[in-house]
């Protein structure tokens, strides 16, 4: 019998079971945020988290990007006792309905990653309420891309004292998956797998999670992308490498 977690890649309840076991073991708090499309969305806090200088990590806002969801859990499982000492706020799967149905979208056919501005919904509004007055030293949004030719990332940083982590993240992970070297990715200028978008180019009713958080809660944000057509285990392990490098940089 195959006991691999990838047999349950789209099993949301199995995902929650594994997170609950980990939270009990490491002393993290898992709690409901809101019921979205018939499934409870959860957030996880470490005891080291305060309202300032924490680390925010989310995955699964697109339900068909399960390598990112599995990668976040694997990273947390591998940290061991150190996990409780990190100031973490985690959203392990923001679109459980999409995860179960292998869909990018929510039940209403909308992209939840374009609903953080003018066209908000109950889920994004609930998270925004919980983040009120919080500042993070780092934000990671974990994604996958059907058309990707390798790993790449989006970087948003401000301030002269903020050092780029982008090259280090990709360099560490490209031993597992090579980086996407196209000059244009998703219609945006890229260099060596790094996209540095201009925040002003987004309309309010198309605002993604990363940009909302960058405008309101952080000076440094990364959206990490793995190619969703590659082997699931390799993708998940690559996400682990990228997360770990981003936090240790």
* The pTM of the whole model exceeds 0.75: yes
Q: How many CB atoms are located within 10 Å of the residue 27 CB? A: 11
SS3 sequence, 9-77?
CCCHHHHHHHHHHHHHHHCCEEEEEEEECCEEEEEEECCCCCCCCEEEEEECCCCCCHHHHHHHHHHHH
3-state class (DSSP) for residue 100: helix
Continuous segment of H or E residues that includes residue 166: helix 166-173
pLDDT of 160: 80
Region class of 104: left (phi > 0), else alpha (psi between -120 and 50), else beta: alpha
Confidence at residue 199, expressed as pLDDT on a 0 to 100 scale: 75
Question: According to the model, what pLDDT value does residue 201 have?
Answer: 67
pLDDT of residue 2: 44
Q: How far apart are CA 41 and CA 46, in angstroms?
A: 17
* pLDDT of amino acid 118: 75
> Beta strand 136-145 with 54-59: parallel, antiparallel or unpaired?
parallel
Query: Is the distance from CB of 177 to CB of 235 less than 8 angstroms?
Result: yes
Q: In the CATH scheme, what is the code of domain 5-248?
A: 3.40.630.10
Averaged over successive runs of 10 residues, the pLDDT of the chain (249 residues) comes to: 67 98 98 98 98 98 98 98 98 98 97 88 95 97 98 95 94 98 96 91 82 96 98 98 95
In which residue are the tokens 């056919």 written? 109
């Amino acid at each position: 019998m195959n006991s691999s977690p990838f047999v349950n890649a789209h099993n949301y309840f199995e995902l929650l079971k594994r997170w609950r076991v980990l939270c009990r073991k490491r002393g993290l708090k898992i709690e409901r945020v809101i019921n979205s499309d018939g499934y409870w969305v959860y957030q996880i806090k470490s005891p080291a988290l305060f309202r300032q200088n924490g680390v925010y990590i989310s995955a699964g806002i697109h339900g068909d990007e399960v390598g990112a969801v599995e990668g976040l859990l694997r990273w947390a499982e591998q940290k061991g006792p150190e996990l409780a000492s990190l100031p973490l706020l985690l959203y392990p799967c923001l679109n459980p309905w999409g995860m179960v149905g292998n869909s990018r979208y929510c039940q209403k056919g909308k992209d939840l990653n374009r609903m953080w501005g003018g066209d908000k919904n109950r889920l994004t509004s609930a998270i925004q309420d919980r983040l009120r007055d919080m500042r993070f030293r780092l934000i990671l949004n974990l994604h996958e891309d059907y058309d990707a030719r390798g790993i790449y990332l989006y970087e948003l940083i401000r301030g002269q004292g903020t050092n780029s982590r982008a090259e280090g993240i990709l360099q560490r992970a490209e031993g597992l998956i090579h980086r996407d070297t196209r000059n244009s990715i998703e219609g945006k200028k890229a260099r060596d797998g790094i996209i540095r978008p201009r925040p002003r180019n987004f309309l309010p009713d198309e605002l993604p999670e990363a940009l909302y958080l960058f405008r309101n809660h952080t000076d440094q944000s990364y959206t990490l992308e793995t190619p969703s057509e590659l082997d699931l285990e390799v993708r998940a392990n690559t996400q682990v490498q990228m997360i770990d490098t981003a936090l240790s940089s």
